[in-house]
Structure 1
Amino acid sequence: MKIWYLTSEFPPEFGGGIGMYVDQVSKIMARNGHEVTVFVRDTNSDKIEQPESNLRYIRFLHCQGTIYKTLGYWAALSYQYYEIVNRMLESGEKPDVIEIQEYGAIGYYILQNKLVGNKNLTKIPIIVHLHTPVFELSRINQSPQYKFPNYWVGQMEKFCMNAADFLVCPSEFLKRQIQNIAPNNPIEVINLPYCVDMKNYPERTYDSNTILYGGRTEYRKGIYQTIAIFEKLWLEGNTVKLRIFGGDPYFSPKATTLGEIIKKKYKKWIDLGLLELNNAIEPEKLDLEILKAKAVIVPSIYENFPYSCVTAMWLGTPMLVSRQGGQAEMVEEDGKCGLIFDWDNNDFKDKLEQLLSMTPEELKELGNNGRERIFSLCNIDKNVKLRETFYINSISNYTPKKNFPFINHDILKTELKAQEDSIKNMLSIIIPYYNLGSYIMETIESAVSSNYNDKEIIIVNDGSTDEESIKILEEIKSKYNFINVIDIPNGGLANARNVGVAASKSEYVTFLDADDLVDPTFYTKAIDVLKTYSNVSFVYSWVEYFEKGSGIWPTFNTELPYLLCANMLSAFSVVRRIDYLNYGKNRIIMEYGMEDYDGWIGLVENGYFGVSIPEALVKYRIRQDSMSRQFNPDMRFYLSEQVAIGHKEVYKKYGDEILNLLMQNGPSYLWNNPTFDNTGGVVNNSANSNTNIYGYKTELLRIANSKWGSRMVKLLFKLKINRLFQ
């Protein structure tokens, strides 16, 4: 098989469990005859390496390209992965299967482009491998869950889980925690492979009075709670020593790191030598420290399948692990292959005292049993067979999705209240027109140039008063006999759109303002999506600004509750006419603007969702006198009130989430792009902005503890992102 792995972590630059997994699995699959390619970001250069037969590393320089001006770091990185993979596919290379991590949603744009019609990807099954997603890390680590960009990265991860053709993860624990995110996409569990060369390692001793913890001082890892238990023993006169090796990530509630909190709170025990905090060290050096310890603890309150536990058991170490994670699945039987405690039962201290009372012989038996258990569980040959079977089944059982994988599973589709006959495949392009004679001809030519042939154009003249604009409208009538011009008294944009739709008999309708432009392929691409997925109601694309402004506005698939706070698309949308007439009609009360936004909410709250094509296929003209430029704060507040009044029930349903989004990101009229940090309503779209270079404080600090961390830190400070460390 030809297998492609996409990862954000890989040796030597990026450490962590994801990198260790891809490093191990890529090698064992290549050594068993499969052609393996690993795609990974790099901080230095673009390069291709072939470390051994059948194995290729494609490293690319991240933070490159204009996409980093359009999207925040993780979203832009995802787009960069898509561009690189797509170029490889266009060059003629084709894998049998692609496996992508869920963390950071780096597969988002590969999956989105596949779903909206990229033919290079259509026949390739895409597997998403679950490690621990950002949306869970934020929740467990007590970070603000609704703050941009983390919130949106989490939403993108949820989309990846639903959009993947197949899901796999290493532990039953993680499967139980997040299967509900993608209820229609069952998660396969395959444990991680592992092997370590121990030929130069010394013999283990069992008479040490030291307990070792190897991992980050991260809240979810349980080490902070663990030290509190150890303190009880120290206060009772026990002299057991706790040694900690690992990075020290940012802890949001205290605006510092847990390591700093621990140093202050437990200074007494540090000074007495009973508590020792060390930075992360190389794996081989950590192995030697493990061999000198009485036991290793894995006390996580939420964990997937930690390599720290795998490694320690492989080294024959007596283990004390929590039940809250895959580590309990490794130990399996309490008292035989290790000891298992449960945070929910508050029995950690009892189990720790039981461990400390064991004789060297009992500890040796515990460690040997654990080694045999992990040898069996993570056996390389066994793991290869399991993965080969999984990949083969994924290839043979793969079929393209029939329904678009929206993430709002709780929104059920309301039945259509009224049905009307329509002309199959026909598209009506509705152009509301009011005194825009200076621009209308360019707009008409743009619409006429569309490569979608089965179309009509309806211009709704909303009582134009400008003589030149009326004259140009007459010229259009004489030049284009297939354009239907409807003259009505001035009633506003919302009314003009509704009149145009009512005059149409097409299956699809779309709106085009009289001064804007569309790409020749837009309507064809949008209707292809509508024909592919019956559960999609409307389709739109990214928007390019021109004339008095520039830049790209990236749009996203509609989802709640975000749409209830801020618009996710422009009026340039191709919509099923019958859906629009039932639930999306522009309400006349929205006379000052936001009428299209109000209509999209009406559709979505009734289960009629929209999909974004992630490329700029429409152009929005920035004019000094445009309708949106006339908005003032009070007008916006009034219109927002009308939106909420018109959709009371859905706002009630998501009230708590709306509150959190607004509290953590500021007023939504200042939002523009959730992939950036929007604190204070200021969004930096620069490719060198702090959000682009690296999305999260925890990620920065974790990298800082890697082999190449110091080099990265110098680079990051050079690029003026020192604020992230404050």
Structure 2
Amino acid sequence: MRICLVCRALPDSPDEGVGAHALSMSRALSAAGHEVHLLTTPHPALEQTRALLPGIHLHTVPSELTPGFAGAFPSPPLRHSMAVYLALRELHASHPFDVIEFPEQEGEGYFSLRARRTLGHFASAVLAVRLHGPTHEARALNRVATMDMDVAQVEHVEDTSMRDADLLLSPTRALLEQVGTRLKSEARGVVVPPPFVARSNASPPRRTQTPRPRVVYAGRLEYRAGLHLLIDAMQSLFERGVDAELRFIGDDTETGPFGRSLRGWLERQVAPAWHERIHFDSALPDAELAAAFAATTVCCFPAPSGPAPDTCLEAMSSGVLVVGDDAGGLADLIEDGRSGLLFRSGDVGQLAATLEKALALPLLRETAQREAPLRVADLHAPARIVKQWETAVEGVAHVRNHVLPRPARERSDTPRVSVLLPYFNMGRYLPETLRSIRAQTFTDYEIILVDDGSTDPESIELLDRVQAPDLRIIRKQNGGLSSARNAGLKVARGHYILPLDPDDLIAPTFLEKCLTVLEGTPGLGYVTSLVTYFVEDATHVTGGWAPWGVERDALWVANVASTCTALMRRSHLEEVGGYDEWLTGFEDWDVFCSLAERGLGGSVIPEPLFHYRLRQDSMTRTSMVGDRPPLMAYLRQKHPRLALHPERSLCILQGEALKLESLALARAAEAVPRPLLDKVVDRVNGTLKRFDFVHHALRGVATRVVGTEDASRPLRQQLMDRLRGRR
């Protein structure tokens, strides 16, 4: 088979785990006779990486998107996902792949998978997503509650990728069940552990003696790893007279309480009497880690949430007795009492008892020294993993070549699509908008223009000159956007409705592609596309936007669904009561909320088929500026049941508010005299301290805005120093 593995993070980058898997899996697949391609990002050590992968085709994504178009993807993960999609289209065209595999992290395959679902791209390939540890699960296990739209979008692109995949590959049963239950995913899920070859092919180093028996944890210090359980268990053993020591080997993370150092929090859990028995060291190079395992009596991994960490596999390959919990990835690996020991997940008392047994019984350690390396070599042997992977791919081979049927393009007596144009003094732009409609490849439409009481003589006169068989003009007194759209909806004959403002443009394939998706995908309320911004010439792109589709928790906070220009079934629009005429703006957001409340989804074609004109006199830049807060309050009150997880929506809302407050404070500092600035900061800081959870959240936000936090100083002093230009 011809296979492409996509992975931004190769081993010289910060995300070692995902990159290490891509390298080991590409080697294993190549050794089995497959043609393997690896798509990654440009980086300084790329040629060194290429030398490590003989026979494997290494490709890189574009380092930059088209400048204007890049503005549609404000976050690095989103830009990278689009770059992956563009690169894959070229690669797949030159030598079609049988399988393309993406990691779920940060949605590397987000746009490629959407293109498969909406445009039929990569139809000859199985699109697989491999689980490493989705952001949603990682945040929950690390007890991270703060959130903003950036985090919500990362979770959205990951979740959408997992839902859209033809095949989900998971390292463990536990992770697959957890993700499948949460997402209710229809994708076929299969457990395929990562291939593993011990870093040293030589015999394990000779065991060395230490003054005390030593229990070791090796890996990143994260809350979800359950290291506090290990500390509690070991201290209870010390109190019972067990003569041993505990060593942590790994780099710190900010997964302690409210984004603080986990190592600092763990060190505070150690009673003064046991300070000399519990040690913390940074991550070690391979050779030093092997020496550390040689001096280890027992290795403990109290709560690995995903696959068995590489450090665990290294320890077992070295013949060290490993103790792990029975609910995560180690339950698939360890044969209790033979290749290691398992304890009941989360039970500190049983963990202590299991560690005591491991330390006290040499026979258990001798058995593990013999059996653990054999177990790892068996379950994670590259040849075995490739066979499992091949079987999983063959199980979904039937999904290949599935392309949605294109709708018929011919006109009929009753048009299938009604394009609604609300019109008020827009004569300057209307002819270009009409030309973009009439350039459509799908021609079974009607255009309904609703003149909402125009007062500009030229705009009124223009309506007499644009009369045409495909255009129906309705005149009414001025009532606003919602009123104009409802007037058009009442006389529309089309089965589908496309609202379009008379200054915006649609690409020639907009109707055809949106209709294909809407008719071929059950459960959709609307279909739209990526958006580009322009001022006068649509070919001169100045920015853009990538709508999410329906994400109900985020939709309660902001309109992530679409612009007003989305193709909808007329029956759905009528069922929700059309456009709310009480609203002076956000009427499209209101409709998307209503569709979502009825369980209908939204699909976004990953091509810029809608072109939005930026005007200084547009509603969003004039009348809606002051109306925005009451409009948003009205919408949230109108749709109280929109959010599936209201507490998550409130966290997003709070995160956005804190970002805006911090930004406003930073900007104010540039112009406000120092004495007044003191008063402003004191006022804000004093108010926030009355709400402790907000104060901690703002500390994190302020850290991201103004620099690295010094935990020894209060928030007020940090803000003051940063805003005044001091470190």
Fold shared, TM-score > 0.5 on shorter chain: yes
User: 1:330 & 1:435 partners in 2: Cα distance?
Assistant: 70
1:559 aligns with 2:543: no
For the pair 1:468 / 2:471, whether they are aligned, the reply is: no
Query: Alpha carbons of 1:534 and 1:234: their partners in 2 closer, same or farther (altered >3 Å)?
Result: closer
The equivalent residue for 2:475 is: 487
DSSP-derived class of the 1:57 partner: strand
Q: What residue is the counterpart of 2:623 in the other structure?
A: 631
- The equivalent residue for 1:662 is 653
Q: Do the aligned partners of 1:303 and 1:324 also contact (CA within 8 Å) in 2?
A: no
What residue in structure 1 maps to residue 154 of structure 2? 153
Aligned in 2, Cα 1:60/1:604: closer, same or farther, shift over 3 Å?
closer
2:106 maps to a residue whose letter is G
1:298 counterpart residue number: 301
> Which of 326, 331, 335 in structure 1 is aligned with 2:334?
331
Structure 2 CA distance for partners of 1:645 and 1:345, relative to 1, 3 Å: closer
- For 2:369 and 2:79, the matched residues in 1 are separated by 46
AA partner of residue 434 (structure 1): F
| C-alpha contact 1:175 1:187 (8 A) present in aligned 2 | yes
In the alignment, what sits opposite 1:419? none
Range that drifts further, 324-333 or 251-260: 251-260
Following TM superposition, by how much is the alpha carbon of 1:45 offset from its aligned partner in structure 2, in angstroms?
7.7
TM-score (norm 2): 0.83
Q: How does 1:483-562 map to 2 (within 5 A)?
A: 483-547=471-535, 550-562=542-554
Q: Which of 218, 225, 248 is 1:221 aligned to?
A: 225
Please state how far the C-alpha of 1:285 moved relative to its aligned partner. 3.0
Q: Is the 8 A contact 2:304 2:329 kept in 1?
A: no
In structure 2, what is the Cα distance between the partners aligned to 1:225 and 1:147?
30
- 5 Å-filtered alignment, 1:369-384, equals 369-384=371-386
Cα distance in 2 for partners of 1:499, 1:123 equals 46
Q: CA deviation at 1:320?
A: 1.2
Give the Å deviation of 1:117: 0.1
Larger CA deviation: 128-137 vs 384-393: 384-393
Q: Is the 8 A contact 1:44 1:61 kept in 2?
A: no
Once the 2 structures are TM-superposed, how far is the Cα of residue 235 of structure 1 from its aligned partner?
4.3
How many angstroms apart in 2 are the aligned matches of 1:603 and 1:396?
Answer: 32
How many angstroms does 1:607 deviate by?
A: 2.3
Contact 2:174 2:327 in 1 (8 A): yes
Tell me the equivalent position of 2:238: 234
Look up the match of 2:201.
198
Q: SS of 2:595's equivalent? A: helix
Which residue matches 1:138?
Answer: 139
1:118 positional shift: 4.6
Q: Secondary structure at the match of 1:251?
A: coil
Amino acid at match of 1:655: P
1:617 to 592, 609, 613: 609
> What residue is the counterpart of 2:567 in the other structure?
574
Q: Which amino acid aligns with 1:295?
A: V
Q: Equivalents in 2 of 1:721, 1:460: separation in Å?
A: 46
**What residue in structure 2 maps to residue 418 of structure 1?**
none
TM-score (norm 1): 0.83
> Which deviations, in whole Å up to 9, do the C-alpha atoms of 1:355-410 show, x marking residues without a partner?
11112x4411233222332232223332222222222333245464889xxxxxxx
Secondary structure of 1:580 counterpart? helix
Give the count of matched residue pairs: 655
Which runs of no fewer than 5 residues in structure 1 stay unpaired?
404-421, 668-676, 685-719
- Structure 2 CA distance, aligned partners of 1:484 and 1:270? 84
Further displaced range: 58-67 or 341-350: 58-67
Work out whether residues 172 and 306 of structure 2, in 8 Å CA contact, stay in contact via their aligned partners in 1: no
Q: Helix, strand or coil: the match of 2:346?
A: helix
Any idea what SS the aligned residue of 1:116 has? Answer: helix
The more displaced of 299-308 and 124-133 is 299-308
- Name whichever of 343-352 and 25-34 sits farther off: 343-352
CA distance in 2, matches of 1:204, 1:148: 51
Q: Find the aligned partners of 1:683 and 1:456 in 2 and give their Cα distance.
A: 51
- 291-300 or 392-401: bigger deviation: 392-401
Secondary structure, counterpart of 1:601 in structure 2 = helix
Q: How far 1:85 moved relative to its partner? A: 1.3
Change (3 A) 1:666 1:725: same
Query: Are the counterparts in 2 of residues 148 and 678 from structure 1 also a CA contact under 8 Å?
Result: no
2:598 is aligned to: 606
Match for 1:309 among 307, 312, 318? 312
Alignment-mate amino acid for residue 24 of structure 1: S
Mapped partners of 1:602, 1:222: distance in 2: 42
1:259 is the counterpart of 2:247:
no
**In structure 1, the residue corresponding to 2:443 is in which secondary structure?**
coil
Which stretch has the larger CA shift, 459-468 or 367-376?
367-376
Moved more, 97-106 or 45-54: 45-54
Looking at structure 2, the residues matched to 454 and 243 of structure 1 have their Cα atoms a distance apart, in angstroms, of 72
Q: 1:584 deviation in Å?
A: 5.7
1:79 equivalent in alignment to 2:69: no
RMSD: 3.0
2-side partners of 1:61 and 1:625: how far apart?
A: 37
Query: C-alpha deviations, 1:433-484, integer Å up to 9, x for none?
Result: 112222222222222223322222111112222222111111112xx34321
Distance 2:106 2:89 in 1: 19
Contact 1:244 1:278 in 2 (8 A): yes
The offset of 1:245, in angstroms, is 1.6
Which segment drifts farther, 196-205 or 349-358?
196-205
More relative contact order in 1 or in 2 (CA 8 Å, sep 6+)? 1
Cα deviations by residue, 1:282-334 (Å, 9 ceiling, x for unpaired): 2343123212211211112633332222221122111111223111221132x
Q: Distance in 1 between matches of 2:244 and 2:414?
A: 78
AA aligned opposite 2:449: I
Partner Cα distance (2:28, 2:709) in 1: 38
- Are residues 59 and 183 of structure 1, via their aligned partners in 2, closer, same or farther at CA, if it must alter by over 3 Å? closer
Candidates 566, 574, 582, aligned match of 1:589: 582
1:263/1:270 contact within 8 Å kept: no
The amino acid across from 2:332 in the alignment is E
Number of the residue aligned with 1:707: none
Match of residue 175 from structure 1: 176
State whether structure 2 residue 344 is matched by structure 1 residue 342. Answer: yes
Q: Displacement, 1:28?
A: 1.4
SS in 2 for 1:459: strand
Q: Measure how far apart 1:4 and its partner are.
A: 0.9
1:126 to partner: Cα distance: 0.4
Deviation at 1:39, TM superposition (A): 1.5
Q: Distance in 2 between matches of 1:722 and 1:587?
A: 42
**1:451 partnered with 2:441:** yes
| Shift in CA distance, 642/255, structure 1 to aligned 2, threshold 3 Å | closer
Tell me how far 1:263 sits from its aligned partner.
4.4
Q: Name the SS of the counterpart of 1:650 in structure 2.
A: coil
Contact in 2 for aligned 1:10/1:40 (Cα 8 Å): yes
Q: Separation in 2 of the partners of 1:241 and 1:538?
A: 61
* 3-state DSSP of counterpart to 1:167: strand
AA in 2 matched with 1:608? L
Q: CA deviation at 1:425?
A: 6.5
Q: 2:126 touches 2:397 (CA, 8 Å); kept in 1?
A: yes
SS in 2 for 1:506: coil
Residues 1:367 and 2:369 are matched in the alignment: yes
- Paired residue secondary structure (2:123): coil
Partner of 1:687: none
- Measured after TM superposition, the shift of residue 130 of structure 1 is 0.9
Q: C-alpha distance in 2, partners of 1:150/1:485?
A: 45
The one-letter amino acid of 2:262's match is L
Matched-pair contact (CA < 8 Å) for 1:540–1:612: yes
C-alpha separation between the residues in 2 aligned to 1:291 and 1:50?
Answer: 31
Per the TM alignment, residue 30 of structure 1 is displaced from its structure 2 partner at its CA by 0.5
Residues 10 and 393 of structure 1: CA distance in aligned 2, closer, same or farther (over 3 Å): same
1:572-604 superposed Cα distances (whole Å, 9 cap, x missing partner): 1121222222226102222x1221211121222
Residue 168 of structure 2 contacts residue 187 of structure 2 at CA under 8 Å; is this kept in 1?
A: yes
Q: Greater shift after overlay, 241-250 or 189-198? A: 189-198
Change over 3 Å in CA distance of 1:424–1:647 after alignment to 2: farther
